[in-house]
Amino acid sequence: MFLRTLAQKLALALCYLAFAGFVLFPLVWIFMMSIKNFGDIIAYPPRFLFTPTLENYVEVLLGNDAQRAGGQVPDLLKFLMNSVIISGGAVLISALLGIPAAYALARRRDKTSDKLRFTFLSFRFAPELAVILPLYVIYTRIGLYDSYVGMILVHQLITLPLMILILASFFRDMPIEIEEAARIDGARIWTMLTRIVVPIARPGIASAMMIAFIFSWNNMIFGLVLAGGSTRPVTMGILQAMTFDQIKWGMMAASAMVSALPGMIAAVLFQKQITRGLTMGAVK
């Protein structure tokens, strides 16, 4: 009996290990690539044993020799900063607009609100390419091209529908009795939203913001067309490792590791909120 459970446990552990390996292998591979020099990266067959180097990180984080000599901020850090401003700004605005909107949609259940929900949802699967060229012309004409305001606005196409959809279903799961009690105590709708609903829903809001942030962070097409030299996000920045004749794999891997960090850090910091947000109804 004991043996059987031990065998079972072992098998389970092996399964977990295999799964973890499956999930983590690409990440490990990119990390290994980021600490290899070019010769080791292009070596065939692939090398697992090599002398690690920090050169790629130095170039990515501190800039190349010329940039260091000129005291310039390395490109990747600029791109990272741009991404933080754009995605952060987009999520904050989406939260301000999306929380009341989601609340209204959740509590008002009729045909109009269903249509509205569908409209918001449609923003998520509308092809960005269809709007991008007209937007480019409009943006250049009215001066929003290559500006943070313009980028934050266009990222609403990504973040706002996500916020509304996630939060609406979240708010709907909250028992309405709490709000009814509050209404009896004389609370108006705004008080109810700010004093009762939002505090209770904080984990849900945090996870919705987190997801919206990651989607916005990973977007590339808006960055390609609507951002210029001064607001280019990190997704475009990583592509700079692709030159006309070769891909600077080491730099690209190091850039990818560095640019994945903010998302990872945020996920770890908000982990508690997110797991609560994803697993809980309002007051289980």
Partner 1 sequence: MTVAAALVATSALSLASDPANAEMNWKAADGQTINLMLISHPFVESLKPLLPEFTAKTGIKVTYEELAEQSGFEKLLADLSSKTGTYDVFMTSPLNNWQYAAAGWLEPLDGLIANTDKTAADYDVNDFIPSILSAGRWDLTPLKGIGEGSLWTLPINFESYQLAYRPSLLKKLGLQVPKTYADLLAMADKLAIDGPNGKMHGIITRFDRYWDLPYLTFGTMLQSYGVEMLDKDGKLQICSDKSIAATQDFVTLIKKASPEGAGAFTWYEAMQGFASGQYVFSLNEANLFAPTYEDPKQSAIAGDVGYAPTPLGPDGKRAAAAWIWSLSMNSASSHKDAAWLFMQWVTSKETMIKTHLAGNMNPVRKSAWDAPEVAKLMESWGETPGQYIQAAKTEAEVATIRFPPHPELTRMLDRWAEAIQKSYFGQGDVKTNLCNAQADIQKMLDE
**Closer of 178 and 239 to partner 1 (Cβ):** 239
Cα separation, 192 vs 194, in Å, equals 6
**Closer of 1 and 69 to partner 1 (Cβ):** 69
**Closer of 16 and 136 to partner 1 (Cβ):** 136
One-letter amino acid of 153: L
Residues making contact with partner 1 (CB under 8 A)? 37-39, 42-45, 66, 70, 133, 136-137, 140-141, 145, 224-225, 228-230, 232, 236, 239-240, 242-247
Kindly state the smallest distance separating residue 53's Cβ from partner 1, in Å: 10
Cα separation, 55 vs 71, in Å, equals 18
Cα separation, 216 vs 156, in Å, equals 9
Q: 194: which DSSP letter?
A: I
**Closer of 249 and 270 to partner 1 (Cβ):** 249
Kindly state the smallest distance separating residue 55's Cβ from partner 1, in Å: 9
Kindly state the smallest distance separating residue 25's Cβ from partner 1, in Å: 22
One-letter amino acid of 125: F
Kindly state the smallest distance separating residue 46's Cβ from partner 1, in Å: 10
Kindly state the smallest distance separating residue 37's Cβ from partner 1, in Å: 7
**Closer of 27 and 137 to partner 1 (Cβ):** 137
Q: What is the DSSP string of 58-111?
A: HHHHH--HHHHHTTPPPHHHHHHHHHHHHHHHHHHHHHHHHHHHHHHHHH--SH
